[in-house]
A and B are shown apart, each in its own frame.
Chain A
Amino acid sequence: MKKLFYILTLSAFVFTACEEKPPEPPVVNDGEEVQEMTVTMSHTFDGADIELTSGEYVLPGNHIVNITRVSYILSNFYLVKSNDEKVMLEDQYALLQPRNGDISFTLKDVPKGDYKAVGFSLGLDSAINHGDPNQYPVDHPLSSVNNSLHWSWVGGYIFIALEGKDVNSSESFVFHIAGSQNMIDYELPISFTKGNKAMNADFELMYEEIFSNPQTFDIGVDGMSTHSTTDPVTLKLVGNMGDMFKVNSVVDNE
């Protein structure tokens, strides 16, 4: 009986040794526990989700348009704690390109704490912008293979590409915003307490803002194309992009 007990115990030990241990939360250098935050970006026009290619939307000047592409890069992520301490999330980037199904990204190494704001940039700092895109594996947001937002080795990345068609005139609009001077910084109010659990956040890009706030942008008057870093079309669009993002919710990942 004693031997049988021993064998059963040994069996249990041997076979449970095969089981994978549950992953432990990652730990930053100072021993603080960190977790991930998965952000899902909604792309909306007047509050409704954009249907690429088929949806029809009315821009200023009564231009009814199809939106065929919205692709952009976010960088320089940070969080602001309730005590104003800034938590930098270094070397993290996000590629949002709904036509390829890329509508979410994961911020890693978010420490515990009470937070009141999130910050990020649309676009890239100069050094990264003009770095070699071949250094990134294909699944990296900055891989030119993945994002189709890179202007070869001369121009760096397109920070945001907005493309579509005027349904009535069938003219196309193509706005490619690039150039480190056109990087836009955002800091959005956000209120959550980060505990031990991973979190989900719901952000939103409000497309109509780009053509209305603070200045009206009429594609029939202001222009239907830019690839320049300095022309009036770019400057006006960049000026209108300051309020196009908002945070809807941050919740624990149940």
Chain B
Amino acid sequence: MNKFLGISVILLLTGFTSCKEDPGTGKVNGTLTPYEQTPYDYFENPNLPPPNFPKDNMPTVEGVELGRMLFYDPILSGDSSLSCSGCHNQAFAFTDNGRQFSTGINGDQGRRNSMPIFNLMWHLDGFFWDGRSELLRHQAIEPIKDPIEMDETIAYLLVKLNRDAMYKEAFAKAFNITEIDEEHVALALEQFMMTITSGYSKFDLGRTVGFSNFTPAEMRGLEIFNAESYPNDPNNKGGDCFHCHSAPLFMTRALMNTGLDSFSTDPGLEGVTGDPKDRGKFKVPSLRNIEMTAPYMHDGRFATLDEVIEFYANGVHFNANLDPNMHALQDSVYLSPQQRSDLIAFLKTLTDEDFLNNEEYSNPFN
């Protein structure tokens, strides 16, 4: 071949291929061909906001499946006895089986109640009760390292994963990496947890049919949930729930002090910011699947929904950091036994059996 023509062709090829994005580190299974990932086919639920996956970690079929494996695998803990699912059981909306505090591998207990896992892609103010992890991928690693939870070092976890042929192949397929590292463990867990959504409850169906599927008690409960409370008007006593727990997610962005204590022994957000005005502020959890996530509050102090309602009706403690939105509730709200019962009936319409039994979220090793 003409030498000049050869140089030109090579130049053209190298020049134009250099415009392409590097597909990855490439060398997998001894070849230079990287795996291609399949975009995760998220079914957009009209009952929920549009998807909000992190743009730098869009879920793939391979990444989600890997994250699911990691989530259910006790290999993540120091003695390989406890997986994430040990304290986040799908049947309890991914909380800890009705326990107030979770028990780690050494028998130690935490100080906060295990949080549910669903609709996390719409959490904009951090993760954990005090919001200390900005991204879910950051949160995902913390319980692994925590000595009172899974008590494993990342270094040794990576040794275990890197000598496991199943994980070597799964990480290669998901991320085109030959050496498993902390970043990609976190990204895989984030991908799986981000895909867990809940939006097919009786309430969601009710919205589409004018709540004709509701019982009279559930309908009365809905009205109490959405009604204002006017402390000086005995005829207008709503539950005032919707301000902080509005549909569709039944939560709000801000971390709030709801007056659980006159002085919170748990610093809450103050532990993150160092600002005393943030003492006792915690994330506002979603009320979806609330029937399944007892006990309640950041420290699981209330065993039942009755106790929670009694707190909001009569037990709010005034304190300097009490959120202004608790204004109407701090002077007590009268709800009759029937009204409380109706309110609970409505709250139970937020239970989503489809989510609780969705096989895509279940243990892949079973």
Quick check: A145 and B52 within 8 Å, CB to CB?
yes
Quick check: B52 and A173 within 8 Å, CB to CB?
no
Shortest Cβ distance from residue A20 to the other chain B in the assembled complex, whole angstroms: 10
Does A148 interact with chain B (Cβ within 8 Å)? Answer: yes
**Is the contact region of chain A dominated by helix, strand, or loop, or is it mixed?**
mixed
A225-B277 contact in complex given A134-B50, A145-B249, A146-B124, C-beta closer than 8 Å = no
Quick check: B8 and A17 within 8 Å, CB to CB?
no
Kindly identify, within residues 115 to 169 of chain A, every residue whose CB is under 8 Å from any CB belonging to chain B.
133-138, 143-146, 148, 150-154, 163-165
Kindly identify which residue among B48, B226, B228, B327 contacts A172, using a CB–CB cutoff of 8 Å. Answer: B327
Does A100 interact with chain B (Cβ within 8 Å)? Answer: yes
Q: Chain A residue with minimal CB distance to B8?
A: A10
Which residue among A100, A136, A152, A228 has the maximum number of chain B CB atoms within 10 Å of its CB?
A152
Residues of B within 8 A of A151 (CB): 242, 246
Which residue among B226, B246, B277 has the maximum number of chain A CB atoms within 10 Å of its CB?
B246
Kindly identify which residue among B122, B277, B327 contacts A224, using a CB–CB cutoff of 8 Å. Answer: B327
Report A's interface with B, CB cutoff 8 A. Answer: 3, 6-7, 10-11, 14-15, 17-18, 53-54, 68-69, 99-100, 133-138, 143-146, 148, 150-154, 163-165, 170-174, 176, 224-225, 227-228
Residues of A within 8 A of B19 (CB): 17-18
Shortest Cβ distance from residue B179 to the other chain A in the assembled complex, whole angstroms: 30
Shortest Cβ distance from residue B19 to the other chain A in the assembled complex, whole angstroms: 5
- Can you report 20 residue pairs joining A to B where beta carbons are below 8 Å apart? A6-B8, A7-B4, A17-B19, A99-B254, A100-B253, A134-B47, A134-B50, A134-B248, A135-B50, A136-B49, A137-B49, A138-B49, A144-B248, A145-B253, A150-B246, A152-B246, A163-B325, A165-B324, A170-B320, A176-B243
Shortest Cβ distance from residue B365 to the other chain A in the assembled complex, whole angstroms: 33
Does B235 interact with chain A (Cβ within 8 Å)? Answer: no
Question: What is the size, in residues, of chain B's interface with A at 8 Å between Cβ atoms?
Answer: 40
Quick check: B15 and A17 within 8 Å, CB to CB?
yes
Shortest Cβ distance from residue A63 to the other chain B in the assembled complex, whole angstroms: 14
Residues of B within 8 A of A6 (CB): 4, 8
Q: 14 new A-B pairs (CB below 8 Å) besides A7-B7, A172-B322? A: A7-B8, A15-B18, A133-B248, A134-B46, A134-B248, A138-B49, A145-B122, A152-B242, A153-B247, A170-B320, A173-B327, A174-B325, A174-B328, A228-B228
Quick check: A136 and B11 within 8 Å, CB to CB?
no
Does B326 interact with chain A (Cβ within 8 Å)? Answer: yes
Cα A69 to Cα B326 with chains together (Å): 14
Residues of B within 8 A of A150 (CB): 246
Shortest Cβ distance from residue B48 to the other chain A in the assembled complex, whole angstroms: 7
Give the A-B contact count at a CB cut-off of 8 A.
Answer: 103
Residues of B within 8 A of A137 (CB): 49-50, 52
Shortest Cβ distance from residue A71 to the other chain B in the assembled complex, whole angstroms: 10
> Contact flags (1/0) for B22-47 with A, using CB distance below 8 Å?
00000000000000000000000011
Residues of A within 8 A of B242 (CB): 151-152
Kindly identify which residue among B4, B49, B326 contacts A143, using a CB–CB cutoff of 8 Å. Answer: B49
Residues of A within 8 A of B122 (CB): 138, 145
Residues of B within 8 A of A227 (CB): 228, 243
Q: Chain B residue with minimal CB distance to A147?
A: B253
Q: Chain A residue with minimal CB distance to B277?
A: A53
A174-B327 contact in complex given A145-B122, A148-B253, A150-B246, C-beta closer than 8 Å = yes
